[in-house]
Structure 1
């Protein structure tokens, strides 16, 4: 029994430390100006884990107080059920997202580079990561072409596709390997409009989706929903580590919406 108690204590410490690290990452994302359902829900999940596993005595004390009446029991079991279900769901989806990231594209597949925000100072940090990965892929696959896809938002000085084109050409990639698609406003349109360019220009129908790792699973689901021809592989962007937890948790909510309603 003593060994089990010791093992459980070690388990609690590990879970608590992991939750603290992720909570700091969620908060750091917010300090960088990234605030969405990802760091809001992710932060609450971490706080719950820290309270349940890291402050065991306080949790037990509160648990006993809540269990004294039916309303308290409903609150206690309801909160624990919701966070436990969210954690289990999140772990499963994160596993699927990780699997999507390791799907290698076929050699010289046509790259579809998904856009991200362009600021007054140029490509955002996220878009820069995608541009850098696209350049590496095109250097490693000299016969590959790329479709750069992304329209111009109301707060952007130029289209995302044009910003990518400028940076990729500046990096030494020949312009005749690049095709601009500057009308798309979401991932579904990115992929659909890029497919039209691929077919119209007789490009390789095997595809290499260039985007952040957390986004690869949803992009691959969209390609299947649209019934596109050819294989689909992943070219993962150089994502700033602080952003990964926030956007990964956001994908937990975007994915069922994509599967059920689109």
Structure 2
């Protein structure tokens, strides 16, 4: 019962924090904690009513290693699909690398323990602690990325900013087309008197024949958007610049109200976090993405968020390093 009470309290806190500012990752921590206590509470009640459910819970725990192997196999298979369809860039290989790590790290840790060397065992323990920490952080990120991606925009935007991605042979590929179509959908939902400005945003990469913003603007106009309602941003080379430069375009065009930012569903949370960091009044919405693309895409976003908060995570890992060092030193001292 205590677990369910905690789940209800945390659920209320989550709703409050999300309404206060949905663009904060702490909301994901509260959401995952609420779900965890709700699961514990439901499990406790079922165990009281149906004692045999304890065996089901035990079976699930026992099958965890098998589930990890299945997950690793899925990630490796997805990595092969990504290489075949998208090329062999590091970003496209992330799901394959994650699958290999899921299989390889437990074996490596076991080999360290089998040496019976205190330092090696300490290293295995540290590996366990760090993997557990980053595993929990990934669950928080993924849960809230999905939850945020399901939210609908609740404002009448002054402008709709569509974040760019790589164009191919000067044309808009399917991934970027889904963003543009979502932007057009939001634009058409507005009344004629309050039609927002459409700002396709993206500069020219080294392997692109022209700026992404230009190709995106052409697509929007060809799809029926009035020319006077489309202003391209042509300089941005990353998400932060997309947001900053597009906000400047909106201001220059006299559109100083709130923005709706459109990107693919896997990218919404990081774009939202960045817009808040930059002080931009905005909501972020996501467009559909091919399913095979999602595992690597979410992993890539997770890595990007870790890099943006690397100092925080380094500090969070210090207790694990200190605890491992103390335990290893104690074992060495006791063996002498």
TM-score, structure 2 as length reference: 0.65
Which residue does the alignment assign to 2:3?
Answer: none
Say whether residues 1:28 and 2:69 are aligned partners: no
Runs of 4+ in 1 over 4 A off after TM superposition: 50-53, 59-65
Q: Distance in 1 between matches of 2:127 and 2:109?
A: 16
Q: Secondary structure at the match of 2:232?
A: strand
Q: 1:152 aligns with which of 204, 221, 230?
A: 204
Q: Which of the pair has more CA radius of gyration? A: 2
TM superposition shift of 1:250: 1.5
TM superposition shift of 1:172: 1.4
Aligned pairs (5 A) from 1:37-48: 39-40=93-94, 42-48=95-101
Contact 1:113/1:149 (8 A) holds in 2: yes
TM superposition shift of 1:12: 3.9
Contact 2:271/2:284 (8 A) holds in 1: no
Alpha-carbon spacing, 1:82–1:227, altered in 2? closer, same or farther (3 Å):
same
Alpha-carbon spacing, 1:203–1:24, altered in 2? closer, same or farther (3 Å):
same
Q: Distance in 2 between matches of 1:258 and 1:52?
A: 25
In structure 1, stretches of 5+ residues that fail to align are 54-58
Q: Deviations over 1:190-213 (max 9, x none)?
A: 111111121122225211111112
Say whether residues 1:245 and 2:295 are aligned partners: yes
Which residue does the alignment assign to 2:178?
Answer: 129
Say whether residues 1:182 and 2:234 are aligned partners: yes
Q: Distance in 2 between matches of 1:148 and 1:61?
A: 48
Which residue does the alignment assign to 1:85?
Answer: 133
The structure with the greater share of residues assigned to helix is 2
Instruction: Kindly report the root-mean-square deviation, in angstroms, between the aligned alpha carbons of the 2 structures.
Output: 3.0
Q: 1:195 aligns with which of 247, 260, 279?
A: 247
Which range moves more in the overlay, 73-82 or 128-137? 73-82
Which residue does the alignment assign to 2:307?
Answer: 257
TM superposition shift of 1:67: 4.7
Q: Pick 1 or 2: higher relative contact order, CA cutoff 8 A, min separation 6.
A: 1
Alpha-carbon spacing, 1:151–1:169, altered in 2? closer, same or farther (3 Å):
same
